[in-house]
Amino acid sequence: MITREEFVLRYPRLYHIAEAESWPSILRHGLLSTTALLDLFGVDGARRQAIESRHRPESVAITHEEHGSAVIRDQIPMRETALTRCLRGCSPRQWYEFLNRHVFLWVNEERVQTLLSARAYRTREHVVITVRTSPLLERHDRRARLSPINSGSTIYRPVPRSLETFATLDAYPYNERRRIRGIANAVVEVAIDYSIPDLSDFVERVERRRGTQILEVLLPRKRDHCNA
């Protein structure tokens, strides 16, 4: 196990990557999982199943008369043939639906940079959201699960995984993982069930990036510092 206080000490900030076009929707609604977005936008039937229950080889744009537009990220790093081999106790559909029900945050910025530098993403613009761990977990720790792997990737020797890969803070084998992989890799992801509608209460910084380049700082703006 790991206490909330120890987790905050080890990982004081968390990071989320979103499509650049999603930022206006995130500002309005907070961070929503794919399932939460589909619920909000009223997407049903065959289109919903294709987005939520199957592999997404490319990002998907959805629109709504009231809520505007949002972009659901692709799953390029998830190769289904490899996924089928490494899944334990669940089907690919169950895995996709489980992941799509959660909002994912990285525990260190190095993994953010690795993903943004990957061939599939390095020329595209993304929004990187930095979140303060302490207030986020103070409010949402009961809905938080920790993962020791990049659950959305099956590239580079995919390790076995199941729905039990994710564990609450009080059930996560942190000390064992730390001994084997060190503090930096003892935890890889934090998954929050369904949504973080109150995201603005925890955001520290928002940047628009392309690869290793910071194109724009969206929050905090320079005038925010002047008025502080």
- pLDDT, tens digit (0-9, with 9 covering 90-100), for 4-28: 999 999 999 999 999 998 898 899 9
Query: What phi and psi values does residue 148 have, to the nearest 5 degrees?
Result: -90, 0
pLDDT of the residue at 226: 45
Residues 6 or more apart whose CB falls under 8 angstroms from that of 89 comprise 162, 163, 164
- pLDDT tens for 105-123 read 999 999 999 999 998 899 9
Reduced to 3 DSSP states, what percent helix, strand and coil does the chain have, rounded to the nearest 5? 40, 25, 35
pLDDT of the residue at 228: 47
